[in-house]
Amino acid sequence: MKKTNIFFKIAFIFISLLFSLLLSFNIVLKIKQLYYFEIYNLNINKLSNLSIESIKTNYDYIINYLSNNSYVNFKLPNLPSSKEGIIHFEEVKNIFTILTYLFYICTITLIFFYYSIIKNKDFYIIKLCSKFLLTLPLILITILVINFNKTFTLFHKITFGNNYWIFDPEKDPVINILPIEFFLHCSLIILLITILQGILLFIIYKSLNKKSNLK
């Protein structure tokens, strides 16, 4: 067994963490039923004074708009949007596009990493990575549960160079169908899926290590 160097280990763990978070994010983004459940769970129809069908239509449009790599003008099916609101969604779309390309890069990079790991039979690094995938999300979950509002605000201040993300419900009623609790639940699900990936990675480590010892 050939030991991998420290740079390789750090790069592998970092790319694996990033890949797992992006994969979890994509899963939550694609499963629109999670939001449909939240409509009832958070009484979004009552908070927004919109029908459930109208809420679903606008949410579906938002997800399709953000997921589409081609440029299209943002225009909700039956809700008005301010100039600032449109700019914000355009900025979010740009971020989503970057994350999509980053996910592809991480995927390709990990293929080469795993090829090297299996070739050198240095499976301990997989075990080490699984521990990070288990502990980091737990730390983040604790932070989110303690004060999600502050974390949510800080994230937006760091990510965006303006205050367009602070929606006026009168000008951008779309904010009424996107309560902050929904973002909290999405964040928690993303982190829980990442933890499941950590568990799966540990199982993979045990399997590879067992097969290697039998030879």
Confidence at residue 215, expressed as pLDDT on a 0 to 100 scale: 52
Domain-located, residue 71? yes
Domain-located, residue 168? yes
Helices (H), the chain: 6-30, 33-41, 44-48, 52-67, 83-120, 124-146, 148-159, 180-214
- Whose structure tokens read 């953000």? 66
Range of the domain at 123: 6-214
Confidence at residue 214, expressed as pLDDT on a 0 to 100 scale: 54
Collect contacts of 28-37 with beta carbons under 8 A, ≥24 apart: 28/186, 28/189, 28/190, 28/193, 29/63, 29/66, 29/67, 30/67, 32/56, 32/59, 32/60, 32/63, 34/185, 34/186, 34/189, 35/59, 35/182
Cα angle for residues 90, 91, 92 (degrees, 5° grid): 90
What is this structure's pTM?
Answer: 0.92
Domain-located, residue 65? yes
Confidence at residue 4, expressed as pLDDT on a 0 to 100 scale: 64
* Length, in residues, of the chain: 215
Q: How confident is the prediction for the chain on average, in pLDDT?
A: 92
Structural domain count, the chain: 1
Whole-angstrom distance, CA of residue 6 vs CA of residue 19: 20
Confidence at residue 120, expressed as pLDDT on a 0 to 100 scale: 85
Domain-located, residue 134? yes
Whole-angstrom distance, CA of residue 103 vs CA of residue 13: 15
Domain-located, residue 183? yes
Domain-located, residue 1? no
Confidence at residue 71, expressed as pLDDT on a 0 to 100 scale: 80
Confidence at residue 153, expressed as pLDDT on a 0 to 100 scale: 93
- Cβ atoms within 10 A of the Cβ of 137, count? 24
Domain-located, residue 176? yes
Domain-located, residue 96? yes
Ranges under pLDDT 70 in the chain? 1-4, 213-215
Whole-angstrom distance, CA of residue 56 vs CA of residue 49: 13
